């Protein structure tokens, strides 16, 4: 049986962690799970903190803290990204690793949940400093990870190049080419080129399938995407290609809105060129510096694809969309989700909607382990099939058994039940 983490005080008071636990408790209550099972599920199996000392280009030393949370391995090796941000906390990392457990379980892939982070603003580092930080962080957690133990991937402010440094550092320590130790690597190091688009592509797939059930399809439906980073860009791109009208997109600097639709390809070009989507000027477009206002626009589909806790009790009654598809992790608080459900708004939960990234990572990892490679077309086709089947499975389960609750309850019921059964079969509980 998994023992309670001795480091619980590091994360128990974190609001993101408390939100994750609240979601777990609500699902456990519906499933009839006992308090002791919930206690075993709410703590990570291991939480590692490491110190990373980097010599800056000016010769001074600077020390950063990093973490890796390994939440549950009943179904397989830990899986989850590593983020670089000044806001990273142990509680955030633990909560995200818990969500990864449910996400992997729901997707039906043989992984448990993990997550990592370093408290740093990577934009203040030179390329050399960033490489030193990355290599030292991964060397510090090298005993905790491995192709059959824990397989990290990119997250906020990390990318394939950083995964390449991780792969190289681990391979040096292990003494062999460990292609499967990380996913979303550069193609030349065994990665899949489509991995970078897969989370956004999967979010768009979830929106497409939900729109079929609610509206009869995407054609002509208006969409607002909050957050125009990797996830938001590709969500918007594919929804536009599949017939939806993307009317608004935002980044941290603000948002652009045109009720007749924006040119998504042009918006992507502007974002990549200037770093600010608010530099988009095509057509009769409204520009605002308050990106949070985008959430309240009169659209059919809202995709929160930036950060957690953006739909809250403060703004939930101003949400006008009839369908919310969570591209980000934890963008809707439990209280807000309950209100949305009471208003008839369908929320496709993050553990279902944004599972494209981890699913593509599994496709990459499994082929790395076999020593063979897929074409991009084959990989996307496999992702489309897996996510379409999973969405409709959850949707049907929700309508059949749990329709008085938000869809997240059905998703959690399937995911948590599978993990609990695996734990029982292994004799842990």
Closest CA to 4 of 37, 44, 38: 44
Alpha helices in 243-349 (DSSP H): 264-274, 334-342
Q: How far apart are CA 201 and CA 388, in angstroms?
A: 12
Q: At what angle do helices 334-342 and 15-31 cross, to 10 degrees?
A: 50
Task: Please pick, among 79, 103, 115, 237, the residue that the annotation labels catalytic.
Answer: 115
Structure confidence at residue 156 (pLDDT): 86
Residues sharing a CB contact under 8 Å with residue 172, sequence separation 6 or more, in sequence order? none
How would you classify residue 146: left for phi > 0, otherwise alpha for psi between -120 and 50, otherwise beta? left
- 12-to-73, 158, 214 alpha-carbon distances in Å: 21, 26, 38
Q: What is the pLDDT of residues 255-264, one digit of tens each?
A: 999 999 999 9
145 by Cβ neighbours in 10 Å (0-12 / 13-18 / 19+) ranks as: buried
- pLDDT, residue 262, reads 95
pLDDT at 68 over 80: yes
Indicate the burial class of 273 (C-beta count within 10 angstroms; 0-12, 13-18, 19 or more).
exposed
The tokens 């200037």 sit on which residue? 274
Share of the chain above pLDDT 70, in %: 98
Distance CA 57, CA 275 (A): 25
197-348 has which fold? Rossmann fold (3.40.50)
Q: pTM of the full predicted structure?
A: 0.87
Residue ranges, comma separated, of all CATH 3.40.50.720 domains in the chain are 197-348
Start-end of CATH 3.40.50.10860 domains in the chain: 8-179
What CATH number belongs to 8-179? Answer: 3.40.50.10860
Mean per-residue pLDDT, 37-63: 97
* Termini Cα distance of the chain: 6
Write out pLDDT tens, residues 13-48.
998 899 899 989 988 998 899 999 999 999 999 999
For the stretch 295-314, pLDDT in tens is: 999 999 999 999 888 999 99
Respond yes or no: is residue 320 known to be catalytic: no
Task: Specify the pLDDT at position 1.
Answer: 41
């Amino acid at each position: 049986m998994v023992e309670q983490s001795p480091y619980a005080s590091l994360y128990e008071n974190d609001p993101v962690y408390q939100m994750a636990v609240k979601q777990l408790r609500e699902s456990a209550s519906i499933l009839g799970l006992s308090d002791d099972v919930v206690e075993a599920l709410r703590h990570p199996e291991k939480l590692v903190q490491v110190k990373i000392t980097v010599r800056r280009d000016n010769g001074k030393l600077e020390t950063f803290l990093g973490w890796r949370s390994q939440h549950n391995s009943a179904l397989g090796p830990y899986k989850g990204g590593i983020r670089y941000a000044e806001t990273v906390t142990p509680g955030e990392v633990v909560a995200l690793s818990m969500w990864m457990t449910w996400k992997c379980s729901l997707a039906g892939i043989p992984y448990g949940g993990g997550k990592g982070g370093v408290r740093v603003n990577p934009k203040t580092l030179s390329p050399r400093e960033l490489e030193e930080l990355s290599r030292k962080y991964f060397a510090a957690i090298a005993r905790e990870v491995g192709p059959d133990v824990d397989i990290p991937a990119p997250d906020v402010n990390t990318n394939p190049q950083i995964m390449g440094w991780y792969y190289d550092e681990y391979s040096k320590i292990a003494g062999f080419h460990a292609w499967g130790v990380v996913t979303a690597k550069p193609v030349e190091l065994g990665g899949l080129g489509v991995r970078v688009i897969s989370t956004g592509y999967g979010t768009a797939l979830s929106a497409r399938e939900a729109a079929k059930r609610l509206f009869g399809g995407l054609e002509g439906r208006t969409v607002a995407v909050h957050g125009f980073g990797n996830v938001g860009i590709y969500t918007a791109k594919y929804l536009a290609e599949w017939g939806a009208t993307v009317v608004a997109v935002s980044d941290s600097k603000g948002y652009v809105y045109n009720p007749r639709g924006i040119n998504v390809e042009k918006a992507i070009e502007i974002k990549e060129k200037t770093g600010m989507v608010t530099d988009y000027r095509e057509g009769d477009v409204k520009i605002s510096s308050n990106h949070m206002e985008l959430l309240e626009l009169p659209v059919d589909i809202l995709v929160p694809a930036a950060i957690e806790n953006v739909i809250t009790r403060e703004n939930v009654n101003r949400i006008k969309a009839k369908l919310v598809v969570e591209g980000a992790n934890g963008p809707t608080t439990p209280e807000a989700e309950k209100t949305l459900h009471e208003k008839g708004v369908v929320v496709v939960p993050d553990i279902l909607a944004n599972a494209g990234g981890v699913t593509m990572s599994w496709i990459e990892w499994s082929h790395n382990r076999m020593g063979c490679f897929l074409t991009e077309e084959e990989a996307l086709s496999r992702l489309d099939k897996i996510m379409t089947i999973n969405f409709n499975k959850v949707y049907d389960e929700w309508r059949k058994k749990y329709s008085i609750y938000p869809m997240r309850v059905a998703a959690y019921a399937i995911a948590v039940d599978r993990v609990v059964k695996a734990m029982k079969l292994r004799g842990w509980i």
